[in-house]
Amino acid sequence: MKSWNWKKIWLRIGLGTVILLLAVVLFVFIYVQRTLPDTNGEIFLEALSSEVSVTRNEEGVPHIEADSLEDLYMAQGYVQAQDRLLQMELSRRQASGELSEIIGSATIDQDKFFRSLGLRRAAEASLEDYSQEGRAALEAFAEGVNTYIEKADRENSLPPAFTLLGSKPEPWTPVDSLTIGKFMAHDLGGHWERQAFQYYAMNNFTEEKAEEIMAYYPENKPKVLEDTSLDIAGDFRNASLPHPFNGSNNWVVSGERTESGNPVLADDPHLGIATPSIWYQMKLSGPDHAVSGVIFAGVPGIILGHNEDVAWGVTNVGPDVQQLYVERRNPENPEQFLYEGEWEDAVIHEEPIEVSGGETIDYEVVETRNGPIINEFSEGAGEGEALSLRWTAHDPSRELEAVLDINRADDWESFEKGLEKFHTPAQNFVFASNDGTIAYKANGKIPIYDNPADSQLPLRGWVEEDQWDGFIPFNELPKVVNPEKGWVATANNKITTDDYPYHISHNWAQPYRYERIQEMLEEDSTITVEDVKRMQMDVKNLQAEEFTSFLVEEVKREGLSDGEIAALSLMEEWNFEDNKELSQPLIFHHWLDQIENLLYADIPEDINSLFHRKAQTTDEILRAEQNGEESEWMKEAGGKEKVITSAFRRTYKKLEMEYGASASDWAWGDFHRVEFTHPLSDIAFLDRFYNRKDPLPVSGSRVTVRAAGFDDNGKVDHGASWRYVIDTSDMTKSHHIVGPGQSERFNSKWYHSQYEDWVEGDYHETNLLEDTGEELLLLPEE
């Protein structure tokens, strides 16, 4: 009988397995590499009327030069698709409520919510209002995107994620671009969530507790609350809510206060932190203008940036542009709703939802005169009272035309003229020009409320008197041109004085970022670009400066451990900087979280998600207690000494378990880290490709000028998605950071090329007219 040499057999099997694995890895590597877009050479685009050049600099910023606007926007669509096609596809699907078609059942509730919200319907209505020039830009852009999709599909070089998802991108349309624009209005938010929360509060808490969380408490309980019984807790359980900390910083300084003698402008919009960046940086040179800055992937033009004459930046105004209405449904006909004593037919939108791996869902959206019903997207539709949403973003609007107009503006007058078409989202524009002008305008379509209290609660959908009373006239929106103090700044703070005749909002951001910017601007009389960069990276925490001493003094020392005493001593020594190397910010932010947990322990989890701007309410409670006033929330939680002491001890215990007993060895950066995660990295094995293995420690917080919001695990998920500084003495140069990079392709050299730069604050200079890069792609006409 033959004797088997098992050692050799297993060796051969092992060797064969290794060779097979290497072959698979090599195949995958070659396949992935061949999907990278061409950034050198020539690609013929049949639709072009003349040759277009695309030069990329060291950071992958493309400079597109064309002889006609149609060619310019067509090439812009092609180039964006090269770097961001997957992001564009996921963005339009998310905003349109079509993710389930490629993701499956996991996104059904999200799709139902966005179908109910109606962003795509609003985009379709908006397209009807666009001028011939605006439509031409949108159509040229879409043709460029589709040219790339067709080429990549033909050459089997679509981004690998499409293969993983088992799908291919649908042809791009002008409505897709406008839908992404409407989604940004949603992402930058309104205040319907807070209205829903305050409705719950007034029906479930004492009048005293409800009063404390209302910016303006109504003298008489609104009639709508006396005879309604909506299930707020259950209605929005699966709603896709915008990030609660969306905001931004911007400021502009007159040449009288700068070293160069010309205005200096800074902008850092705060949005979600992820891979790829929400922003895509580009330079566009057409027959009548050159412009540099950033745009949302999927949209033509430049939304933030500068040209050869003017520069601009934005922050979110945060006005009350969303209003919930309680609707009374006809018990005999669920498609009719009451208005002024008559039953009106609602509009029914058929919105079938295709589900990958499942059956198509027959879904209907009901729309009243006030707007779509938004609280019945998951279950219980067609029963009793409902909540509809009136929102300025539902109205037809032409923001893209405004963008194209301001791209070509050459002074404040022409720039402001372009803003007339920019309705939503309402933005604080700061402006600088090389003629020395600085200016500010809170721009957008902002409704007029006869009674400021109305915007805090759902109103009666069945009466005319609860409807909006028009909109603030464009010429009466808040505006400042060349102020005497020599600067203008905004940080989502309150922007109007008490004598301003119109209501803007009850929901301003915490004032700390604005106050710190003001401090720094008033400290320096000869400001430079380098000064402004340092300001954007500043981590002084004025919230901590306001409350730390009070919190430390209120801690009951009896029974504290030596470690807890040492931690309190550290807090007394703090310079109030949220520096990643210090332990005090780690203690402070956890301490505030624990205080909120104790104060709001009786608020259900579903309702807590609607508690928009909760941090401001907490500030007011602490401020009242610090000034000797008694808060009902604090009183019911046990009083300030008990709450503050218990919160501190909980904080110490939690941090001791995670970082050791000695508070002096703790560091903010041990907890507060950035990773720039990719939306597909939740799929088991993809994180090793899409995410870097070691998150980086980051300074800053939600309340510092260097904004760095974080989740419960310390992951930095919100902040300056783009940083930008320009001195108008030389309009060709500007300074930028796009975190984490230009490309969505994990194997691209521009994928995470600005990751460390974002963390360290290392800016890149971009020249509007010249290019230092060596990569040149020519797109000649056929």
pTM for the whole thing?
0.92
Q: Express as a percent the part of the chain with pLDDT over 70.
A: 91
By the 8 A CB rule, do 338 and 330 touch?
yes
Mean pLDDT over 714-733 rounds to 96
Using CA atoms, how far apart are residues 33 and 28, in angstroms rounded to an integer?
8
Say yes or no to pLDDT of 14 above 60.
no
Residues in the chain: 782
Position 775, amino acid: E
User: Which pLDDT band, with edges at 50, 70 and 90, does 382 fall under?
Assistant: very low
By the 8 A CB rule, do 311 and 726 touch?
yes
Q: What pLDDT does residue 691 have?
A: 86
pLDDT digits (tens, 9 = 90+) for 106-163: 999 999 999 999 999 999 999 999 999 999 999 999 999 999 999 999 999 999 889 8
Is 270 domain-assigned? no
pLDDT digits (tens, 9 = 90+) for 424-453: 999 999 999 999 999 999 999 999 998 877
320 annotated as ligand-binding: yes
Using CA atoms, how far apart are residues 712 and 722, in angstroms rounded to an integer?
24
Q: Coil, strand, or helix at residue 201? A: helix
Specify the higher pLDDT residue, 496 or 521.
521
> What is the domain extent for residue 651?
542-674
pLDDT digits (tens, 9 = 90+) for 548-560: 999 999 999 999 9
Is 276 domain-assigned? no
Is 554 domain-assigned? yes
Catalytic residue positions, numbered = 248
By the 8 A CB rule, do 283 and 726 touch?
no
Is 650 domain-assigned? yes
Say yes or no to pLDDT of 246 above 90.
no
Is 638 domain-assigned? yes
Q: Which pairs count as long-range contacts for 361-366, CB under 8 Å and 24+ apart, including other chains?
A: 361/108, 363/112, 363/115, 365/115, 365/116, 365/118, 366/335
Specify the higher pLDDT residue, 4 or 244.
244
Position 442, amino acid: A
Is 585 domain-assigned? yes
Q: What pLDDT does residue 458 have?
A: 92
Whole-angstrom CA distances from 447 to 197, 255, 399, 459, 657 are 21, 36, 18, 14, 51
Say yes or no to pLDDT of 45 above 70.
yes
pLDDT digits (tens, 9 = 90+) for 692-705: 768 999 999 999 99
Q: What pLDDT does residue 223 have?
A: 42
User: Which pLDDT band, with edges at 50, 70 and 90, does 537 fall under?
Assistant: very high
Mean pLDDT over 640-654 rounds to 98
Give just the sign of the alpha carbon dihedral 249, 255, 259, 260: positive
For the ranges 6-20, 298-312, 565-579, the lowest mean pLDDT is seen at 6-20
Q: What pLDDT does residue 684 have?
A: 64
pLDDT digits (tens, 9 = 90+) for 580-596: 999 999 999 999 999 99
User: Which pLDDT band, with edges at 50, 70 and 90, does 217 fall under?
Assistant: very low
Give just the sign of the alpha carbon dihedral 469, 471, 475, 479: positive
**What is the DSSP code (8-state) at residue 37?**
P
Say yes or no to pLDDT of 1 above 90.
no
Q: What pLDDT does residue 776 have?
A: 84
- CATH value at residue 602: 1.10.1400.10
Q: What pLDDT does residue 479 have?
A: 96
Mean pLDDT over 23-48 rounds to 69
- What is the biggest distance separating any 2 CA atoms in the chain, rounded to whole angstroms? 105
- Average per-residue pLDDT in the chain? 90
Using CA atoms, how far apart are residues 535 and 527, in angstroms rounded to an integer?
11
Total domains present in the chain: 1
Q: What pLDDT does residue 234 have?
A: 56
Is 580 domain-assigned? yes
For the ranges 33-42, 530-539, 727-736, the lowest mean pLDDT is seen at 33-42
Q: What pLDDT does residue 380 have?
A: 46
Mean pLDDT over 256-274 rounds to 96
pLDDT digits (tens, 9 = 90+) for 499-509: 899 999 988 88
Q: What pLDDT does residue 37 have?
A: 83
Q: Give the 3-state DSSP-derived string for 601-629, with helices as H, strands as E and coil as C.
A: CCCCHHHHCCCCCHHHHHHHHHHHHHCCC
For the ranges 236-250, 411-425, 446-460, 475-489, the lowest mean pLDDT is seen at 236-250
Say yes or no to pLDDT of 757 above 90.
yes
Burial of 497: CB neighbours in 10 Å, binned 0-12, 13-18, 19+: exposed
Helices (H) and strands (E) in the chain, counts: 25, 30
First to last CA, the chain: 74
Supply 331's token pair: 């018990």
Using CA atoms, how far apart are residues 306 and 319, in angstroms rounded to an integer?
26
Is 771 domain-assigned? no
pLDDT digits (tens, 9 = 90+) for 652-693: 999 999 999 999 999 999 999 999 999 887 776 777 788 876
Q: Which residues contact 102 (CB under 8 A, 6 or more apart)?
A: 93, 165, 166, 167, 356
